[in-house]
Amino acid sequence: MSPPAGSRFVSGFVSILGLPNAGKSTLLNRLVGMKLAIVTPKPQTTRTSIQGVVNHPGAQIVLVDTPGIHKPDSLFNRRMLETVKAALDQRDLLLYVADATRRAAEEDRRALEIVKTARTPVLLLLNKIDGLKDKRPLLEAIESYRALHAFAEYLPVSALTGEGIEAVLSAVVSRLPEGPAYFPPDYVTDQPERFLAAEIIREKILFATREEVPHSAAVVVEQWKEAGDLTRIAATIYLERESQKGILIGAGGGMLKRIGTAARREMEAFLGRRVFLELFVKVRPKWRESPEFLNAVDWRSMTGPEVP
């Protein structure tokens, strides 16, 4: 899209931050207009930063979705927090997503301490307003957040229904500096297809399982082969305990089959091709404390498909 004649073109880097489950990934997907980040009702769904580029008339916004800010209790969680901190560096604007149906909590105060270190203007997005019957709780939520930080703007929004999204886009665009389009118009994300496929599988696992299984699951795509109109994908699901393996596979393999079918359908819709998906399950005790394993499953530092 080209800007109206005579007007300036603006661009910039904008990170999406907040507590787990606030709706950050739903917001990224809504702003970009396609599903780039997986979304589940479980906290700590997003584990790495995910870029999404929005082209707006006269503007290009490079968004980054981040893991929810929470107390790091493992090497893996400390890495997630490092990812959040990296997403604060050299940004033009920050979006802090909060649940409008609740008041600011102690976790928000702690998260905002981290966000404030960037000294970058922050817009507060009060998300999930579709769940509010009247304005009072929203005003109370705004006041409780105002007490924690002087946000540049307070914007009620529903990432789920799209209400308030145009106002968010206008607020972002109006605060971006003049600059070039950093990416061509057809470029959307830095995520490789293999990683997106692994994430789709993880999303289906998160929906299908409970308690500690979602946190203990990591997915690696080991093989990706195009053959005619078919894409053959093989992936391994890593868990931390034998007992979790039993839960994931389910009676007669039923659970794993359902996960595989749901993941394959979504991959086919996304790739526009038929997919043959093979899933393997392995146990890797304490992988969340293993630097070698974490490097191997992180596509940004991936040395190869081989997991040690």
Ligand X SMILES: Nc1nc2c(ncn2[C@@H]2O[C@H](COP(=O)(O)OP(=O)(O)OP(=O)(O)O)[C@@H](O)[C@H]2O)c(=O)[nH]1
Contact residues for Mg ion, defined by CB under 5 A = 24-25, 45-46
The candidate with the shortest Cα–Cα distance to 188, out of 98, 65, 93, 68, is 65
The kind and range of the H/E element at 282 are strand 274-283
Q: Which of 46, 48, 189, 209 binds ligand X (CB under 6 A)?
A: 46
Q: Which of 11, 48, 55, 158 binds ligand X (CB under 6 A)?
A: 158
Entry field: residues in the chain: 308
Q: Is 249 in the site for ligand X (CB under 6 A)?
A: no
Q: Least separation, in Å, of the C-beta of 37 and Mg ion?
A: 6
Here the tokens at position 27 are 């917001």
68-93 per-residue burial string, b: 16 or more CB within 10 A, e: under 16: bbbeeeeebbebbbebbeebbeebbb
Residue 130 touches which member of Mg ion, ligand X, none, C-beta under 5-8 Å by kind = ligand X
Q: Which of 159, 217, 235, 239 binds ligand X (CB under 6 A)?
A: 159
Q: Is 214 in the site for ligand X (CB under 6 A)?
A: no
Expressed in percent and rounded to 5, the helix, strand and coil fractions of the chain are 40, 25, 40
Question: Dihedral angle at the C-alpha atoms of 240, 263, 266, 96, nearest 10 degrees?
Answer: -20
Q: Which of 9, 43, 137, 299 binds ligand X (CB under 6 A)?
A: 43
Q: Least separation, in Å, of the C-beta of 23 and Mg ion?
A: 8
Residue 144 touches which member of Mg ion, ligand X, none, C-beta under 5-8 Å by kind = none
Indicate the residue among 57 and 131 with the shorter CB distance to ligand X. 131
The candidate with the shortest Cα–Cα distance to 204, out of 164, 259, 159, 126, is 259
Q: Which of 2, 4, 6, 41 binds ligand X (CB under 6 A)?
A: 41
Contacts with ligand X, 95-134, as mask; x by CB under 6 A:
--------------------------------xx-xx---
Q: Is 35 in the site for ligand X (CB under 6 A)?
A: no
Q: Is 77 in the site for ligand X (CB under 6 A)?
A: no
Residue 101 touches which member of ligand X, Mg ion, none, C-beta under 5-8 Å by kind = none
Q: Which one-letter DSSP state was computed for residue 225?
A: E
How far is the CA of 80 from the CAs of 39, 121, 233, in angstroms?
Answer: 17, 23, 27
Characterize the bridge pairing of strands 50-56 and 122-127: unpaired
Q: Least separation, in Å, of the C-beta of 6 and Mg ion?
A: 39
Q: Least separation, in Å, of the C-beta of 99 and ligand X?
A: 8
Residue 127 touches which member of ligand X, Mg ion, none, C-beta under 5-8 Å by kind = ligand X
Q: Give dist(CA 219, CA 221) in Å, integer.
A: 7
Here the tokens at position 83 are 């990812």
Q: Is 191 in the site for ligand X (CB under 6 A)?
A: no
Q: Which residues bind ligand X (CB under 6 A)?
A: 18, 20-26, 39-41, 43-46, 67-68, 127-128, 130-131, 158-160
